[in-house]
Structure 1
Amino acid sequence: MNKINPMIWSLSVALLLWNPIVSKAQVSSKEQQYSFDNLPTVKGTSFKKDTINILSYGAKNDGITLNTKSINSAIQAMSKKGGGVVVIPAGLWLSGPVELKSNVNVHLQKNALLQFTKDFNQYDLVKGNWEGFPQMRNQSPIWANDQVNIAITGFGIIDGGGDAWRMVKRDKLTESQWKKLLASGGLVSENKKIWYPSALTMKGSTMKDPGKISSDKTPEFYESIKDFLRPNLMVLYRCKQILLEGVTFQNSPAWNLHPLMSEDITVRNIYVKNPWYAQNGDGIDIESCKNVLIEGSTFDVGDDGICIKSGRDAAGRERGVPTENVIIRNSTVYHAHGGFVIGSEMSGGAKNIFISDCTFIGTDIGLRFKTTRGRGGVVENIYAKNINMKDIAGEAILFDMYYAAVDPVPLTGEQRSAPKVELLPVTEETPIFRKFYIENVVCDGAAKAVFVRGLPEMSISDIYLNNLVIKSDEGVDIQEAKNIHLTNVHLDVPTARPLLYVQNGKSVSFKNIDYTNADLLIRVSGEQNKDLKMSGTATVKAKAISEFTHDAKPAVLDIKK
């Protein structure tokens, strides 16, 4: 019999006993098209039973022969005859880039390992997209443009050979791992903190946006930094009806799975894996896509686990394609910068996102929503429920409009200063976060329970957090936000001064807040606070109830029993 973690059990029981009737966020039909009772529809795939084995096209599973031509020829032939299944049987199959074609299901049988070559000459430089910008990149190991009804299914493993491409930070390895890496070749930065696999990789790392496409850059220039332009393991661009099922995707050069401007995507029962130190080693990045289902899948990666994006800054706003109608359920994320993430490249917007019945274990942040000035875009109608978390290094739930493109948790010895707070004009570059509905969250261990940080010129707004049980080092921190509601929240914090912090908050309500300890229950800071309410909270348990700093007035806070 499996043992039940006593802390998760006790926190879950506390949630049930303390609030047996689960309340739902009520949203009018005018504000949303979908709800958990009426989810978006994702169109599926369908394939003929006709089958081709790559052995018929001369493929060899010796781990030496390059099978690029054999695999692609089989896929092309099957697509031309109307579609069907291309089988990759058991064995180790070395290959260069593989192009998916319409109406073809590439099926990996048990013990099949599709290993992409570490010979960079096999990957042509092509016009692609990186972190929301059009860029030159090496051709992705798996790719498709404008294809319909495509799939990768089965039981095998797809390995992107990413360790040959990636730079590595010394602080993310043990001393013995670092020495082994140095002995393998490559170069080390002048400060001895970063290892590069080649001189071309190091050269590219010293430039600002070296892959950005511009008229002044010649083919020779891109060749001079080719190794730096790491490909994502899989990019599916403007495709429709996609199925990824059962397969393990691992060891990606950059992001692992990247559907871009595609529709009707089903991701089911896959395993996505990268070393925890893998720079930009995201699990799956859904960018400017519509109608997506991710279920029953596991992610253990080096950057964000499950991520929603829609382009970056002016380029993303010009594209103007949001990611919308996304369902994520019954999935697990282990190591990752964030379990479920939106941003920071969300300039085209994101809406109608539903995440439920998921578990995050050992991620830096649990639910992570990030953006920054310059992005623009609107993120709204985001729903999450029934989320379990354990051993979260940073915040269990985070909303941050000051994203700074650094790891969410500082490395040992790393010093960071808080961002400069200044009021700027609202323009098309100002991002908007609003209408988040999160309920039924249990977290056994986090540095901070909830962090909400908006911009002085654009508050984060309309956040409803219901039925949370969180054990953490710190409580709730709300800055530059309006219409924020925390209801039925249990905070197990060893000692808190304060348990709740509000800076320039408007219409912030705390209802039925239970807690273990608090030297100070709430601190209010700033002269822009207005309409702060607390009710159903045992203020007598705190050594001190309230404190007002930086021109905050006691009259802004109304406490009722």
Structure 2
Amino acid sequence: MSKKRDLMYITAGTVLTGVGIARLAKQGKKDKKVNGIDQVLKQIKAPQFPDRELNVVHYGADAEGQELSTNAIQSAIDDAHRLKGGRVLIPAGRFMTGALELKSNVELHLHEKAYVTFSQDPKDYLPLVLTRYEGVELYNYSPLIYAHHAENIAITGAGTLDGRGDEHHWWPWKYGTNGQPSQDRDRQLLFEMAEKRIPVEERVFGEGHYLRSSFIQPYQCQHVLIEGVTVKDSPMWQIHPVLSDNVIVRGVKIIGHGPNTDGVNPESCRNVLIEDCYFDNGDDCIAIKSGRNEDGRRIGIPSENIVIRRNEMRDGHGGVTIGSEISGGVKYVYAEDNVMDSPNLDRALRIKTNSVRGGTIEHIYFKNNTVKSLKHEVVCIDMMYEEGDAGPHRPVVRHIEVEGLKSSGGRYGVKIAAYAHSPVTHFKMKDCVIDDVAYPLSLEHAVSPAFQKVVINGEQINSLKSEKQSF
């Protein structure tokens, strides 16, 4: 193999001249790693609350769950906010509620024997609120627990929050099953409105429409803590902070096998810590996002400075996923010391975008993660997702580092499917052992991927053997 071929890996049809290589190298030098996990963690602070407690039962909440307690719980939250902060306690018992709105300086705390169920009647999620649906802003049914422009808010305790999504309520809207309407018409209408830049105030859905809400959504909030609770069976995405700064999700169990029941989806958020959680989901365990297509570019705010550590991940489409609503970009993600173990987990690290989405994805660090079982790809970078190369918005994927990975099972060890006009750059793997995959590598349009002490199916991967690497 020639020295030139040692320095650069390209697939058939990719042409990069010496000038092009120099430009990429210069770009890499300019784009130095300016943040580190320690620096990010120093910026993330948990909210603090006054030593004041308000019990929702004292406001008339029904601890037997026969009557809706929405007004009682919301009144306690409103009073705590009016008093400049405090803890709203949901004691032992079974409670039923509609939409709740957290407000500044309020901690909603669930006793370990508190079980909160949410109404299955869409009317209990009115009035409409500003929210996002699949990365696009609109006015829609409220998320089950919502906050807007709030600071210092928390959901804590060892109790359970049950969204009661099932095959008869919420989930059928995905496909129009069990005699329920389908979301398809409304979803397409919303996407068309966003592409035409119709003002958000005119994107009014809710009653008569069938777009599912997220479970917990802090929207444009600061200093958010979600800790200890079990969150299950959301209508759609389960924990979905949007345009928020300083978010901690810690020690939470997130369970749900309905359509699109992702675990934690930070979207256009900054300074996020997700640690010591348990995921068992019908979609991605964690999916980092930043808005879809024209709406994501209009808002133009990336997700950045995100730490994901010591989590246990079972079923899901991806353990740590970036995309596909990614038009605002993502940078500086640190995923460390996570354990993934399920034959129903599709991928460990997945990056998905295309030239309709666009966006820049960079500085992704996947370190010391263990994958005990898996279905498809261990590491996957996919620019062919959904629409493929059908748009004018060139995606950029660069500075992806995988270190200390131990994995067993799956179809592909590493699969990269990029474009000739936008190859993946600065992809590195170091000290990794991947066993029992059907295909060790499939790399299309990656510039000089680096493998140092990487063993796949017992074979050391130190250099690339051909222009089109697939074996």
TM bucket (normalised to shorter chain) is 0.7 to 0.9
Q: 1:411-457 CA distances to partner (integer Å, 9 max, x unpaired)?
A: xxxxxxxx6xx7x89x5x11100001110011111111100111121
| CA–CA distance in structure 2, aligned partners of residues 331 and 267 of structure 1 | 11
Q: Report the CA distance shift for 1:129/1:221 in structure 2 as closer, same or farther (over 3 A).
A: closer
| CA–CA distance in structure 1, aligned partners of residues 358 and 200 of structure 2 | 28
Aligned to 1:166: 171
1:218 deviation in Å? 12
1:154 lines up with 2:154 in the alignment: no
What percent identity do the matched residue pairs reach?
33
Amino acid at match of 2:230: T
Amino acid at match of 2:212: R
| CA–CA distance in structure 2, aligned partners of residues 217 and 328 of structure 1 | 32
| CA–CA distance in structure 1, aligned partners of residues 34 and 439 of structure 2 | 36
Q: Report the CA distance shift for 1:268/1:29 in structure 2 as closer, same or farther (over 3 A).
A: farther
1:303 lines up with 2:283 in the alignment: yes
Aligned to 2:142: 139
Residue 165 of structure 1 contacts residue 197 of structure 1 at CA under 8 Å; is this kept in 2? Answer: no
Q: 1:123-165 CA distances to partner (integer Å, 9 max, x unpaired)?
A: 2244421111123432111000000000000000001111110
- Superposed, which structure 2 residues align to 1:118-267 within 5 Å? 118-124=120-126, 125-163=128-166, 164-167=169-172, 196-199=177-180, 201-202=181-182, 204-206=183-185, 209-211=188-190, 222=205, 225-226=208-209, 228-267=210-249
1:167 deviation in Å? 2.2
The alignment partner of 2:240 has SS state of: strand
Amino acid at match of 1:379: I
Q: Which runs of 4+ in 1 moved over 3 A?
A: 27-30, 36-40, 210-225, 521-525
Q: Report the CA distance shift for 1:250/1:404 in structure 2 as closer, same or farther (over 3 A).
A: same
1:398 deviation in Å? 0.4
- Superposed, which structure 2 residues align to 1:297-446 within 5 Å? 297-362=277-342, 363-404=345-386, 427=392, 429-446=393-410
1:221 deviation in Å? 9.1
Q: Which has the higher contact order (CA 8 A, sep 6+)?
A: 2
Aligned to 1:68: 70
| CA–CA distance in structure 2, aligned partners of residues 264 and 460 of structure 1 | 30
1:168 deviation in Å? 8.4
Amino acid at match of 2:301: V
Structure 2 gaps of 5+ residues are: 1-27
Per the normalisation by structure 2, the TM-score is 0.86
Residue 344 of structure 1 contacts residue 370 of structure 1 at CA under 8 Å; is this kept in 2? Answer: yes
| CA–CA distance in structure 2, aligned partners of residues 168 and 138 of structure 1 | 14
Aligned to 1:22: none
Aligned to 1:287: 267
Residue 365 of structure 1 contacts residue 396 of structure 1 at CA under 8 Å; is this kept in 2? Answer: yes
1:209 deviation in Å? 1.6
Aligned to 1:411: none
Q: Report the CA distance shift for 1:225/1:487 in structure 2 as closer, same or farther (over 3 A).
A: farther
Residue 211 of structure 1 contacts residue 229 of structure 1 at CA under 8 Å; is this kept in 2? Answer: no
> Number of paired residues?
433
1:106 lines up with 2:88 in the alignment: no
Q: 1:444-488 CA distances to partner (integer Å, 9 max, x unpaired)?
A: 111111001111211111101111111111111110111211111
Per the normalisation by structure 1, the TM-score is 0.73
What value does the CA root-mean-square deviation take over the aligned residues? 2.7
1:28 deviation in Å? 7.2
Aligned to 2:35: 34
Residue 168 of structure 1 contacts residue 279 of structure 1 at CA under 8 Å; is this kept in 2? Answer: no
Q: 1:150-209 CA distances to partner (integer Å, 9 max, x unpaired)?
A: 00000000011111100289xxxxxxxxxxxxxxxxxxxxxxxx562444x23x435652
| CA–CA distance in structure 2, aligned partners of residues 279 and 476 of structure 1 | 30
The alignment partner of 1:465 has SS state of: strand
Aligned to 2:9: none
Aligned to 1:48: 50
1:289 deviation in Å? 0.5
* Alignment equivalent of 2:251, drawn from 256, 264, 269: 269
Amino acid at match of 1:134: E
1:210 deviation in Å? 3.5
| CA–CA distance in structure 1, aligned partners of residues 231 and 187 of structure 2 | 30
* Alignment equivalent of 1:92, drawn from 83, 91, 94: 94
* Alignment equivalent of 1:492, drawn from 452, 457, 461: 457
Q: 1:376-424 CA distances to partner (integer Å, 9 max, x unpaired)?
A: 211111111101002211000001111118xxxxxxxxxxxxx6xx7x8
Q: Report the CA distance shift for 1:236/1:198 in structure 2 as closer, same or farther (over 3 A).
A: farther
Amino acid at match of 2:411: A
Q: 1:93-132 CA distances to partner (integer Å, 9 max, x unpaired)?
A: 0000011011011000011011001122212244421111
Amino acid at match of 2:135: G
Q: 1:21-57 CA distances to partner (integer Å, 9 max, x unpaired)?
A: xxxxxx9796022224544421221011110000110
| CA–CA distance in structure 2, aligned partners of residues 141 and 64 of structure 1 | 19
Amino acid at match of 2:443: I
Amino acid at match of 2:426: D
The alignment partner of 1:106 has SS state of: strand
The alignment partner of 2:332 has SS state of: strand
